[in-house]
Amino acid sequence: MTSSARRLGAWCAGLLLAGVSVVVGCRAAGTDGVTPIPQVLAFLPWLLAPTALALFLALLARWRLGLVWCLAVLALLAWFIRPYGPSGEPHGTPLADVEVLTSNVEFGRGTGSLVPVVRARRPDIVFVEECEYTCQATLRREFDAAYPYRQAVEAGGSGGSVILSRFPLRGTAPVPGTMGMPGAVADVRGHAVRLQLAHPMPPLPGQVGLWRRELGRLREVAAATRTPLILAGDFNASQDHEAFRRILDTGLRDAARLSGHGRTPSWPARTAPVIGAQIDHVLVSQEFSASGARFLHVSDTDHRALLVHLTLHQRG
């Protein structure tokens, strides 16, 4: 390779590493930064690809400093890709099993495809985001007998959401947000379980602050709740976002991670599971164990549904 070609290779490697290093640096500093950092952070594991390309170019260019830089970035990426948050199993006596499903039906378009999924899987509790008026009417018509209890925020477009339950519900005030985030307390075979649907704004350009504030309100719910808690929905955030990790820092655990699917993508459905981000979550308090998490295809929506099996345990 000629000297000019080596210089070009070193420059290209440097540009790739500079871009990746900014994102990795924000992750290391515990900040979500500003656009486009929060959007790229959702796909942090996929930054291995440009870093590997930079390593290849640095090798061809015989750029020693670049090789050290590449190896440092790769080491940081490998460290951050590890699952985040508490794990472990509760030690108390099992009290009840609960099947939970969450699905974002994208402005209600996926409602017709969600109905047969719910019929086939028969979860005990269903969280549905972006369930506008037609979606809520459909679910009421199809499941009024099977799910006699519901708590909803009725709105058009992406603003509507609903919780369907086989267990009796007592409504709680919704979490304030641009999109509906209803809550309830379920009577699960004589045990009170707090349910909270999550659907904060996505980190769109110009709205990162709003996204961070709405995730912060969900964190406040998690921190203040003293009963067993299921916090589920479309968080528009992954474990690589500091605002989401702050929710896990309250002691909640990600059911998908507990079931061995901590990095399985749920969005966008068109490219998942090959590439994507896990932004749909079922978070549970320490009274729950989790198993059998499944990410399910639902047509006509850009999200995959998440179904998990939970077991409520007596406090140890």
When pLDDT is averaged across residues 196-204 and rounded to a whole number, the result is: 98
Q: How far apart are CA 98 and CA 312, in angstroms?
A: 8
Q: What is the pLDDT of residues 65-114, one digit of tens each?
A: 999 999 999 999 999 999 898 887 887 899 999 999 999 999 999 999 99
* Averaged pLDDT for residues 39-68: 95
| pLDDT greater than 70 at residue 152 | yes
DSSP 186-248: EEETTEEEEEEEE-PPP--TT-HHHHHHHHHHHHHHHHH--S-EEEEEE-S--TTSHHHHHHH
Please identify which residue in the block is written with the tokens 């994102």.
23
**Rounded mean pLDDT, 206-214:** 97
- Give yes or no for residue 316 having a pLDDT over 70: no
Contact 61, 98 (CB under 8 A): no
Please tell me the CATH superfamily of domain 94-313, with its number: Endonuclease/exonuclease/phosphatase (3.60.10.10)
The answer on pLDDT for 269 being more than 80 is yes
* Contact between residue 245 and residue 262 where contact means Cβ atoms under 8 Å apart: no
DSSP 290-301: EEEEEEE--TTS
Residues making up the chain, counted from first to last = 316
288 in Cβ contact with 313 (< 8 Å) = yes
- Reference 230, options 260, 198, 200; nearest CA is 198
Would the pLDDT of 1 be above 70? no
Q: How confident is the model at residue 5 (pLDDT cuts 50, 70, 90)?
A: confident
- Half-sphere exposure (CA, 13 Å, Cβ side) for 196? 30
> Nearest to residue 230, comparing CAs of 100, 94, 124?
100
Average pLDDT over residues 127-150: 98
**Would you state the pLDDT for residue 170?**
97
Q: What is the pLDDT of residue 237?
A: 98
Residue 254 has pLDDT above 80, yes or no: yes
Does the pLDDT at position 52 exceed 70? yes
| Cβ partners under 8 Å of residue 293, min gap 6 | 255, 256, 258, 259, 260, 261, 264, 282, 306, 307, 308, 309
At 315, the pLDDT band (50, 70, 90 cuts) reads confident
* Mean pLDDT, residues 124-151: 98
Neighbours of 274 (CB within 10 A): 7
pLDDT at position 263, please? 93
Higher pLDDT, 315 or 198: 198
pLDDT value for 6: 86
Mean of pLDDT values over 285-303: 96
Residues of the chain with CATH 3.60.10.10: 94-313
| pLDDT mean over 203-229 | 97
